[in-house]
Structure 1
Amino acid sequence: MLKSTIVDTRVRLVPSKTLLEFLDSQKEHFKKVPENVAKLMKNEGYILPLSTQIVKEQELNIKRPNIDRALLRRLTADVSEEPEPAPAKPIGKKNKKAAKDKKATEEVMEDEEHPTEYNNVLYLTDMHWLNDTLIQLRKDGISNIFLYELIESSDLLLPENEMKPRNPDLEARCERLRAEQHNREYHKMTKNVDAGLKHYPEDTIAYQIKSLNKQIIAVVQFVFSVAAGFTFGFFGVNLMVGPLPFGFRILLGVIVALIIALAEMYFLAKKLHEYDEVLDAPKRMQQTAPKARGERVPPAATSGVQALKPHAD
């Protein structure tokens, strides 16, 4: 699973039973109620009086409380910003295995985890309205309860990244590339042990020079073909037809050279494609090889990775 950007950046509060019962008990004193609070109470089975006015979020006149920064600094003076480092544990075989199992379990839980959706939640604007309402109720002597007492048993939902599943084709390709990388590392480790893997063709200088010569010969052949075409257009037509203007001869040479260049580019691309197919032929042969009855297919053949020759003890 991959984490994408945060879609909904609002902080949400799942109201507790205490908060809902308080809203139901004091609903007669509410002159205006936000639309979201009225919808929440209706979904929970509570009915507001007909005299209560339901207003939208934009129509609320809410005074945001001022934060006493000096008091906040005094309260957080003894709080350390850096977490204490965990004590180091001795690394052994059991600890390594336990750490590996824990990491695998966390990955599985992360893949299977789906965020729970809550329909009945309160937003920050609703909390500001509730705080102003509690202040007014305390002034009128109706209730002597504070906001923290109502929300201490509620659940706070912070914005989270949306989880998106990975592309299965991309995941299969990554697995194939990892297997090929492990295959190459195994060749490097065992080529000095097994005589059959010691002289791996791709590691020899002759193989590299031979591949480089093929590329150089193809490029040189392309250059000579274009030069020969220009020479034919510049000199050959003049010898066959007769004297021609110098500018017309250059134009004929460029036209003939351009035609030969387009043809050579086609054959050069075809040749390079055939060269790549020759390099990939062993892998395709392993993938399409017929399986005899009762014969077990090795994992490397099914994953598209070249099978390794077991080294001799």
Structure 2
Amino acid sequence: MASAFVVGDIFRNKVTELLENTDSSLPQTLREELQELLDKREIKLSFSTARKLKKYLQDEGHPFYLHELLEDSSLYLPEVVKPPRNPELVARLEKIKAKLANEEYNRITRNVNTQEINRNGILADFGGQVRSVKALLVTVFNFLVTVVATFACSYMGSQYLFTEIAARVISAVIAASVVGLAELYVLVRTMEGELGEP
């Protein structure tokens, strides 16, 4: 907080004139304070001395005012000295920051599986894909074999019922269709069960 003025040349010149004037009724304490100020290299005029000077100028009726003396002056703002930080507090703050950063990192990465980072390059995933394709091929092959075997059995077995080839083919197609639909129904229910599992 400001407590003084850093005065300039106007103040120095006017106060020098005032001090050189021997017939002025300048109080001795004020004269000493002003003389001490002029002897210094950087003049810092305290507010209390400025008030005394202002009162003197008003009482004596001088042709210049205090604001004219302080025209090229500025406020003296002392540099704020920050107290040193407590090392224990700094250590605790660093520990808390590290803990919070670690919790944030864990929260962000909790659903990241390190085994699945490079999906195209891991052999375990390739093996899983091969097993999946193999299971699909086995299922399709099983379906085709079942339908073809049903058709063949129905065609061969229907020779005892029908003498005409067209009737035997129609009965074999109907039997193969029924078995194929039943096989598809079972396949769909199995896939639904696998997909429904958590």
TM (norm. structure 1) is: 0.31
Larger Rg: 2
TM (norm. structure 2) is: 0.47
Which structure shows the higher helix fraction? 2
Higher relative contact order (CA 8 A, sep 6+): 1
